[in-house]
Amino acid sequence: MSVAPWIEVPDGARAVRWYKEALGAEERDHQLVDDSGQVQVAQLAIGDSEFWVQHDPNARGGSGPIRMIVTVDDPDAAFGRAMAAGATEINPVYEGHGWRICRIADPFGHHWELGKQL
């Protein structure tokens, strides 16, 4: 099991360039780019620590929520455990963009994605 931060930024392409330049981040295999060439989602790593960047023009520079991704072997079982423990369902388990994944909110309002890359 592992946990990776998901950071929302107002300019995905600029953020990827900055994290690479300023922090030595390396791009990983997963990146979604829209028709205009804007990076919508990018997977990066600094050393062994991976994190994700998502383009969101409404992002508020660190004052907004942080969404965590927890990579698990069985997203369905993880979703069931979270719900049994009092999580709120945001998205049920589904497959999309090469993942089997769901999204829940913990009792404190933090969002977590529990998933497995296919």
pLDDT at 63: 43
* 4 contacts 52 by C-beta, under 8 angstroms: yes
Tens digits of residue pLDDT in 24-50? 889 998 888 888 888 889 999 988 889
Residue span(s) of the chain under CATH 3.30.720.120 come to 1-63
Tens digits of residue pLDDT in 49-73? 898 988 888 876 544 566 778 888 9
Q: Residue 95 forms beta bridges with which residues?
A: 100
pLDDT band at 111 (very low <50, low <70, confident <90, very high): confident
Closest CA to 99 of 114, 83, 80: 114
d(CA 29, CA 86): 34
- The model carries a pTM of 0.64
Tens digits of residue pLDDT in 79-105? 999 999 888 999 999 999 999 999 988
Closest CA to 44 of 28, 33, 29: 28
pLDDT at 66: 67
Helix (H) or strand (E) holding 5: strand 2-9
For the structural domain made of 1-63, what CATH number should be given? 3.30.720.120
Closest CA to 96 of 11, 2, 17, 30: 30
The CATH label, of 3.40.50.10490, 3.40.50.1000, 1.10.287.130, 3.30.720.110, for the domain at 65-118 is: 3.30.720.110
